[in-house]
Amino acid sequence: MNIFRFLGDMSHILSFVILLLKITQGKSAAGISLRTQELYMIVFCSRYLDLFWNFSSLYNSFLKVVFIACSSAIVYIIRFKSPQKDTWNPELDNFPIQYLIGPCAVAGLLINQDWTPFEMIWAFSIYLEAVAILPQLFLLQKQGEVENLTSHYVAALGAYRGLYLMNWVYRYFTEDDYLQRIVWFAGTVQTGLYIDFFYHYYQSKRGGLSRPVKLP
Amino acid sequence: GNKPPAKDEL
């Protein structure tokens, strides 16, 4: 464990807290992509299958359960719970996620760390996480302006994998034979997708005023 | 083949 990875996990937890607060207190999922939340649920349920046999640390096992539970709860609330379910707009949030899941599944089959079913599913979840934010970014693009809490949610989510990139650099230089090309590649793509958002987020928050984040 | 690296990250 190092500070970058710890801060990354804290940023990830913060993103869950912000989103759960927004949809439970604000009683609205407006501006939130259910498609992205469904992809995250698939990512965590597939990646953390090793919960049952890989106890690398209590910290890891605990957070795996937290991430599966939170992502499932968020999908449940937005899909089935009133009044949030009525605030979800399927016309707006209509990114064809099958075009994300399909290629990631093929990539997981072809490029993985071992030819066991779990390694293929694990690689699939790594690739899928890299692109899971796309429906959310497309939704924000359509709406032009980003609600304040939503902008903090996306910023925390982007920061989490960005901090993981620093963690991988740190581990590469401090540990011998540390090699994780799959997550390095996917994590770079994932963080890259946020660069445009981060630029507008920074511009809107720079003046200290909480001007709304505007996406062109 | 060589064992895949341990999965010690989330």
Q: Which residues 61-100 of A are in CB contact (within 8 Å) with B?
A: 63-64, 67
Per residue of chain A (216 residues), give pLDDT as tens.
999 999 999 999 999 999 999 999 999 999 999 999 999 999 999 999 999 999 999 999 999 999 999 999 999 999 999 999 999 999 999 999 999 999 999 999 999 999 999 999 999 999 999 999 999 999 999 999 999 999 999 999 999 999 999 999 999 999 998 999 999 999 999 999 999 999 999 999 886 666 788 898
Q: Enter the ipTM.
A: 0.88
**Identity of the residue in B1, B4, B7 whose CB atom sits nearest the CB atom of A56:** B7
CB neighbours of residue A148 within 10 Å: 14
